Structure 1
Amino acid sequence: MADRKYGEPAPPTSERISGADWYGQELLRKEYSNTLFVDIDLTEVQSSGCVFNECTFRRARFNASIHKDSAFVNCTFVSCNFFDSKFLECKLLGSMFDDCQFHHMQVIGGDWGFVGLPGADLSRASLLGIRLREADLTGARCQGGTIRDTDLSGAWLHSADFSECDLRGSDLSSLEPENVQLKGAIITIDQTIIVAQALGFEVRVD
């Protein structure tokens, strides 16, 4: 399993739900704490106002699910599939993802600060207007993906691949151009100044 930032262990679980079929269910304001979910089917689930606190999901299927104003705080996701899922204004503060699939996942708004996504394949994911402050994106594969209007301040970006990634409007203050792949990345004029300064250029207006 990939390590959390600073080597912190995953929260322990005290309950277990295994093999549950929640296909297409509507979850309203449900709350779970320190629960281990194994091989659970969340396909086409719609959650609203739910709270999962320090839970672990192993081989869970989130395919085509929609989550609105829900929270997955300090959770752990191992070998989960998020194909075509949507997270709208959700909180995933401090959660960790290991060996998960994110093809066509859409995230719009919400707080994903301190999230662990080391080595994640986000090349077909779309992240719009979210907080990824101090997130671990070490070695993340974001080529061709979309990470727009996102707060990446303090994020770990070493060895991440942002080739041809749409980064317009995102905070690139933590970017070290010599340690990431940026060929073909899409940025704004204002962002080019930040990148140039990070490369050591002295930017002048005339």
Structure 2
Amino acid sequence: MFQYSHQQYSEINFSSQDLRYGELTACTFIRCTFQNGSLEEIISSHCRFVECDFRGASLNGSIHKESAFENCRFNGANLFVSKFEACKMTGSDFSGASLDGITIDGGDWSYTNLRLARLAKQNLRGIKFHEADLSGADLDKADLRDCDLSMALLAKANLQGTDLRGADMEGVDFKTLTLAGTKMDREQAVLFSKAYGAKIG
């Protein structure tokens, strides 16, 4: 096990290093690569990763607290039972990543690519997904109350049994949604009706 604190790294290749069980505190990584790396059960706190490459990396069991992953690539990464608490993930790409058992506790996931992500039955309450791509995502019975879903792409997403009450859905194309059993509040019901040509008033 190792501990890094208040370190800064730029354009460093960590791919071949065994980073399992390590602790990172207030470190900054800029355009570093962790591609196909071993980061199982790593803990990051108040760290910042900018344009880093985590493609194919093993991050299962990892815990991240108030860290930022800005415009990072997680394509094909293993995030099984990983946890993100109040993290800033803006612009990061999770296409093809394994998100089974992931815990997302608050934070800003705006502009992320979560296309086809499996997030069924997840507690995603209050998370910011502004302009996130959730096309085809499995959100069956997920708790999306009070989320910012404004301008999010939800085409062909499974929202069956999802709780959307209190979520900001301004700019969402309701015609692309399947909403069987979905819980909506009055404001969302109005947006939904308007999408199908109803005149409210």
The two structures have a TM-score, normalised by structure 1, of 0.83
Q: Which residue number in structure 2 is paired with residue 107 of structure 1?
A: 104
Could you tell me which of 96, 113, 118 is aligned with 1:116? Answer: 113
CA–CA distance in structure 2, aligned partners of residues 23 and 200 of structure 1: 54
Could you tell me which of 6, 12, 16 is aligned with 1:15? Answer: 12
> What amino acid does structure 2 have at the position aligned with 1:79?
G
The yes-or-no answer on 1:67 pairing with 2:64 is yes
Q: Which residue number in structure 2 is paired with residue 134 of structure 1?
A: 131
CA–CA distance in structure 1, aligned partners of residues 38 and 185 of structure 2: 41
Instruction: Name which of structure 1's ranges 36-45 and 67-76 shifts more when overlaid on structure 2.
Output: 36-45
CA–CA distance in structure 1, aligned partners of residues 114 and 171 of structure 2: 16
Deviation readout 1:76-104 (Å, 9 max, x if unpaired) = 11111222222111111111112011122
CA–CA distance in structure 2, aligned partners of residues 53 and 142 of structure 1: 28
Are residues 73 and 65 of structure 1, via their aligned partners in 2, closer, same or farther at CA, if it must alter by over 3 Å? Answer: same
The yes-or-no answer on 1:195 pairing with 2:192 is yes
CA–CA distance in structure 1, aligned partners of residues 50 and 121 of structure 2: 28
Could you tell me which of 148, 154, 159 is aligned with 1:157? Answer: 154
CA–CA distance in structure 2, aligned partners of residues 66 and 186 of structure 1: 31
CA–CA distance in structure 1, aligned partners of residues 121 and 101 of structure 2: 5
Deviation readout 1:115-140 (Å, 9 max, x if unpaired) = 11222222253322121111112222
> What amino acid does structure 2 have at the position aligned with 1:64?
G
Instruction: Name which of structure 1's ranges 69-78 and 181-190 shifts more when overlaid on structure 2.
Output: 181-190
The yes-or-no answer on 1:169 pairing with 2:153 is no
Instruction: Name which of structure 1's ranges 147-156 and 46-55 shifts more when overlaid on structure 2.
Output: 147-156
- Higher fraction of strand: 1
Question: How far apart are 1:182 and its partner, in Å?
Answer: 1.1
Deviation >6 Å, runs of 4+: none
Q: Which residue number in structure 2 is paired with residue 58 of structure 1?
A: 55
SS of equivalent residue, structure 1 residue 155: coil
SS of equivalent residue, structure 1 residue 195: helix
Question: How far apart are 1:70 and its partner, in Å?
Answer: 0.4
Could you tell me which of 20, 25, 29 is aligned with 1:28? Answer: 25
Deviation readout 1:150-176 (Å, 9 max, x if unpaired) = 101111222222112222321122333
> What amino acid does structure 1 have at the position aligned with 2:174?
P
* Preserved contact between residue 151 and residue 169 of structure 2 (Cα < 8 Å): no
Unaligned runs of 5+ in 1: 1-12
CA–CA distance in structure 1, aligned partners of residues 87 and 148 of structure 2: 15
CA–CA distance in structure 1, aligned partners of residues 145 and 179 of structure 2: 15
